[in-house]
Amino acid sequence: MNFLSEQISGPEEIAIRDLLQAHAQPGMLVAELGTFTGRSALAMLPVVAAHGGHFYAVDWFRGNGGVEASLTEDYRNHDVLNTLRQNISASGFEWNFSLLVGSTISVGRIIADHSLDAIFFDADHRYTPMRLDLEIW
């Protein structure tokens, strides 16, 4: 897998997977807001697939506007969207995965209330955008 940079640590990956497993249910529907190259998605996908569920990745693949962060260079220098697609294809979980390209705000407005079993919020980490994601999702 090519994750371009270290987005989450091994212990964080295990914690995300274990938390999802603790709340797993048959046919579960899970969304991740802010997917980048899919490292956290690939931590959750085995749990989702084992329960016959589906995973929705939401990202607009532009980074956080107005923010210089370590990932900003990755967006400038790499095809992050294609890297995600390659990682998911190589994982074997492509049948349990759907990519929704768009802002978390625009995609959140078309998702039915109470239709998801779990949401992993990992898009824009600033207070106002995060608060808006929480309100919409």
Higher pLDDT, 132 or 77: 132
- Work out the burial of residue 120: count CB atoms within 10 Å of its CB; fewer than 13 is exposed, 13-18 middle, 19 or more buried: buried
Mean of the pLDDT values across residues 16-26?
97
Mean of the pLDDT values across residues 117-122?
95
Strand, coil or helix: 102? coil
Which range, 52-66, 67-81, 84-98, is most confident? 84-98
Mean of the pLDDT values across residues 39-59?
96
Please give the C-alpha separations between residue 102 and each of 15, 57, 62, 63, 65, in angstroms, as whole numbers: 27, 10, 10, 12, 14
Between CA 50 and CA 96 the distance in angstroms is: 10
Between CA 96 and CA 86 the distance in angstroms is: 15
Mean of the pLDDT values across residues 26-51?
95
